[in-house]
Structure 1
Amino acid sequence: MRYIQKAEYGVPPNTSIDESDPLFVQAIARAMQVLSTFHEAGKPLTLNEIAAAGGMGKSAAQRVVHTLRQLGYIDRDADDRGYVPGIRILDHTRDYLRMNPLVARASPVLMELRRNVRERVDLSLRDGLRLVYAARLQSKRETFFATLVGQSVPIYCTSGGRAVMAHMSDAEVDEIIERSVRREITPRTITDPAAIRAKVQEARENGYALALEEILQGEIAIATALVSPDGTPLGAIHIAGSLSEWDAESFCRRFAPLAGEAAGAINRF
């Protein structure tokens, strides 16, 4: 068993992978490795770029790409400059969302919350050291970045992440901080371990977490955790607004109670 150090096989860094497991199918893993090369891509990828990013030879990459293209999971881009993800990947996104019980029971609560707050409302789910957005209900102003289901953000520097860590032990919080690749996403991203711990403690005391411009400049966000019946944090509800319209005190006073009520309604199911 080993911990991968980059996003191999389509899973986040520091994920445990036991490649010696007799049930582990290397061919399937290689296909996921090819698909994962698109995660951070900003343009269509050539076969050479896929091979290099996937850590495999060009001939191996060619066979995998050809197979995935035949199945509809990879396609040529419209200008024939390289390869892009295929439309059939969306079938699996739909399957995950409609069959996830937390997403299903949260959806009506989130829609009602969005009607009340008239700001962006998100649902994120924990996956290791990151949160992945499973629902995004938009406000009057948005960037493309802030509209995508499947977009992920680090736990250590987000309101949702701190809300999640507030339901963990100090040892678990320290482990997340230690394993995270802490980098400044914006000039206001908090990366110092002691400062992160202080923000987590603040979330424990307040019942919600606050982040100012740590992922998107000009954005203020609060979050409350979603937990399982045994108290395990599963994800978070976020409410995000603009600092051009809100100061931190007014935003929290207006929206923290509503976020807490929504999370409570979902957690009681």
Structure 2
Amino acid sequence: MKKSSASDGSDLLFNQSLEKGLAVLRAFNAQRPTMTLQEVAASTQMSKSSAQRMVHTLEQLGYVRKHPQTRRYQLTPRVMQIGFNYLAANALIDMATPFLSELALRTGETCNLTEPDGTDMTYVARFVSAKFVPIHMPIGSRIPMYCTASGRAFLSALPDNDARQLLLQSQRIAHTEHTKTDLEEIMGLVHVARRQGYAINREEIYLGDMNVAAAVIGAQGIPMGAVHVVAPTSRWSMAEAELRLAPAALECARAISNSVRTLG
């Protein structure tokens, strides 16, 4: 388990046991839905005895269970309570919901609200179209800022130095043949998004997937997240998306921003 500056012993208030327990929970994912104790230890870079203590504690608390036949560990639905509490207490989601619903009706496409977390954007609200959407992105899904419309829209609302620092921290890998990974090229697209008020992304993370996004701006001009509309390439050209979807996404983001700022 990689040590952060907070866990290297310099912060006397930092609880390393809690850090290890959370690392175990995060180790389970779509690629590793179940794990043996040895696999938990390997994925979290813990000793087997340390991993055993963490898993046993989480099992007693009801966050992890062992399959009676396979003897492999997996998460339980109780883990969702933590994420649900965040969503339920999030005022931005409450304020954005009616505007996102209207945007989905207006465009006929799936519309989302994402919030920043490190160098990623996390889905926190989603209105799904009845039309086919090639990529399933449930609440809690994460996408990198550097190669997505919502990420670049968010970056465009930051000062250049802050946006550049986030890009430098990103693992800018090529997900598809269309992915932009060059720092200066991405910064150029961030500048374009800043001038236009919206960002558009075509097949840089998933083939067949295109998105149009605009930043949600809070008090003191600080970006809080981004609204984006899914525009599958099977239904939309980039020109059509910019002509019809971009103004709608921008209007929605501005309406949410105005509502947020009324709270002070």
Tell me if both proteins adopt one fold, taking TM over 0.5 as the criterion: yes
Identical positions, percent: 36
SS state at 2:219 partner: coil
Displacement of 1:79 in angstroms is: 5.6
Does the aligned pair in 1 maintain the 2:202–2:211 contact within 8 Å? yes
Q: Distance in 2 between matches of 1:63 and 1:211?
A: 45
Residue range with higher mean Cα deviation, 68-77 or 194-203: 68-77
- 8 Å Cα contact 2:179/2:203 also seen in 1: yes
Q: Which residue type is aligned with residue 183 of structure 1?
A: I
Does 1:17 pair with 2:3? no
Change (3 A) 1:120 1:21: same
The amino acid across from 2:115 in the alignment is: L
Give the letter for the 1:120 counterpart. T
Distance 1:160 1:260 in 2: 12
Letter of the structure 2 residue corresponding to residue 84 of structure 1 = Q
CA contact (8 A) 1:44 1:81 kept: no
Contact 2:212/2:231 (<8 A) preserved: no
AA matched with 2:133: E
SS at match of 1:60: helix
Per the alignment, residue 140 of structure 2 pairs with 150
Residue 217 to residue 172, structure 1, CA distance change in 2 (3 Å): same
> What pairs up with 1:219-234 in 2 under 5 angstroms?
219-234=209-224
* Aligned: 1:256 with 2:255: no
Q: CA deviation at 1:219?
A: 1.1
1:77 is displaced (CA, Å) by 4.5
Residues 164-214 of structure 1: per-residue CA shift (max 9 Å, x gap): 111122212221221111101111111011210111011011110010001
Displacement of 1:124 in angstroms is 0.4
Q: Which moved more, 1:217-226 or 1:103-112?
A: 103-112
**1:20 offset after TM fit, Å?**
2.7
Distance 2:114 2:149 in 1: 11
In structure 2, C-alpha distance between the alignment counterparts of 1:79 and 1:207, rounded to whole Å: 55
Superposed, 1:179-190 pairs within 5 Å as 179-190=169-180
Displacement after TM superposition at 1:16 (Å): 5.5
What's 1:100 paired with?
90
What's the RMSD between the two structures over aligned residues?
Answer: 1.8
CA distance in 2, matches of 1:258, 1:33: 40
State the Cα distance separating 1:226 from its structure 2 match.
Answer: 0.9
The answer to whether residue 185 in structure 2 is matched with residue 203 in structure 1 is: no
Residue pairs, 1:107-146, within 5 angstroms: 107-139=97-129, 140-143=131-134, 146=136
What's the CA shift for 1:48? 0.5
- Shift of residue 147 of structure 1? 3.1
Unmatched tracts of structure 2, length 5 or more: 260-264
**Pick aligned residue for 2:153 from 157, 163, 168:** 163
What is the SS of the residue equivalent to 1:147?
coil
Gaps of 5+ in 1: 9-14
Q: Secondary structure of 2:139's match?
A: coil
- Give the Cα separation in 2 of the matches to 1:221 and 1:52: 37
What's the TM-score once normalised by structure 1's chain length? 0.90
Q: TM-score, normalised by structure 2?
A: 0.91
Aligned length: 257
**Corresponding letter in the other structure for 1:230:** Q
Cα distance in structure 2, aligned partners of 1:61 and 1:115: 48
